[in-house]
Amino acid sequence: MPLALLALAVGAFGIGTTEFVMMGLLPEVAADLGISIPAAGHLVSAYALGVVIGAPLLAALTARMSRRTVLVALMVLFVAGNALSALAPGNDSLLAARFLSGLPHGAFFGVGAVVATSMVAPERRARSVSLMFLGLTVANIVGVPAATLMGQHLGWRATFLGVSAIGLAAIVSLMVLIPHDRSAAPAAGLCGELGALRSLPVWLALGTTVAGFGALFAAYSYIAPMLTEAAGYADASVTLLLALFGVGATAGNLLGGRLADHAMRATLFGGLASLVAVLAAFPLLMRTEWTAALAVVLLGTAAFVTGSPLQLMVMEKASAAPSLASSANQAAFNLANAGGAWIGGLALAAGFGVTSPALAGAALAVLGIGVAAVAYAVDRREGAVAGGRGLLVAGSARQEPERVAG
């Protein structure tokens, strides 16, 4: 694997850290700015909104630029957003800075995935994507806990200055390690990139991402009350258990990349089926402390096995212009975050019990399998049509010399 993937992983590490660290800093931010914790929670939503808007917008606007230049520019925007977050004088300015920080998120992963796959042999494409995503999963093990501790002891502003420093390191890595000749943008341009979104298979792949990762976030958004109220853990233990989720996510990400290079579709269906099984077992697993810890690891593993296959599937369905579709998949991931949390909250509010969000997540994972099955059927149908056209053309070519000879 090329060393350039390390530069992409460093950028992913910084992005993953800033995305999730705000959840652990809400009390400190709320107290410092004089707002309620629910109001501070809007800072999480502002970042997600930036991702959803920025992913397709920035990918489309930079369609004709060198991908190396695009990645560096996106990381510069990332550093600016986090630096402004550290210097924000009030809640409104912090909301704007968090929105700005989220803008480059999806486009960085989308364009980065295209660059990663362009630097390796075809049989290693999924593994190259998984190694880039490794920075995101490792952020949940190391980056987020470390940044949270920094915020609790040095102030939340220090956290965002630290994330800005990670972004600067990523900029240097990208400029040194990403080659010029392998990151040039295709000739498709903006029209070609937008045209990729008219494809039904692309939308089915995006729908699978929304349903599959919506299943994860339906449960993960409420993992803390499950661990404390159902499994009996103390509040202080939750941070360590969330790091276990990061361990599972890292293992699943690497496993999914390796398996998808051999059988992408089978890996996707297997990962979704495993996610259904894990989430359906949550009410039982949350009855004791050790089985609850196992459930957290298994949740991360099952969910992130599907990450690389989903990203690669979207890129293949938009092979002529993959940057926008690849970035749109990151927007779909964040829609899954918001939608999954909302659906899990509905189950909780309905009084079905503290572990009911996991069952709602299992239902979403089943939906993801259904969407993936429809996508598979469409692929087979389009393949059969293309094959029939090929036979027709070949038959016409054979008949033409006969008519000329006659």
Q: What is the pLDDT of residue 57?
A: 85
Q: What is the pLDDT of residue 184?
A: 46
What tens digit of pLDDT does each residue of 311-344 get? 888 877 776 667 777 788 888 888 888 788 889 8
Which residue did the predictor score with more confidence, 183 or 60?
60
pLDDT score of 110 more than 80: yes
Q: What is the pLDDT of residue 171?
A: 94
Q: How confident is the model at residue 10 (pLDDT cuts 50, 70, 90)?
A: very high
Mean pLDDT across the chain? 84
Domains assigned to the chain: 1-185 (1.20.1250.20), 196-395 (1.20.1250.20)
- Quick check: 205 and 85 in contact, CB under 8 A? no
Mean pLDDT of 261-286: 93
Q: How confident is the model at residue 13 (pLDDT cuts 50, 70, 90)?
A: very high
Q: What is the pLDDT of residue 183?
A: 45
Q: How confident is the model at residue 181 (pLDDT cuts 50, 70, 90)?
A: low
Mean pLDDT of 36-41: 74
Mean pLDDT of 78-98: 93
The pTM for the full model equals 0.79
Cα 334 from chain centroid (whole Å): 7
Q: What is the pLDDT of residue 192?
A: 60
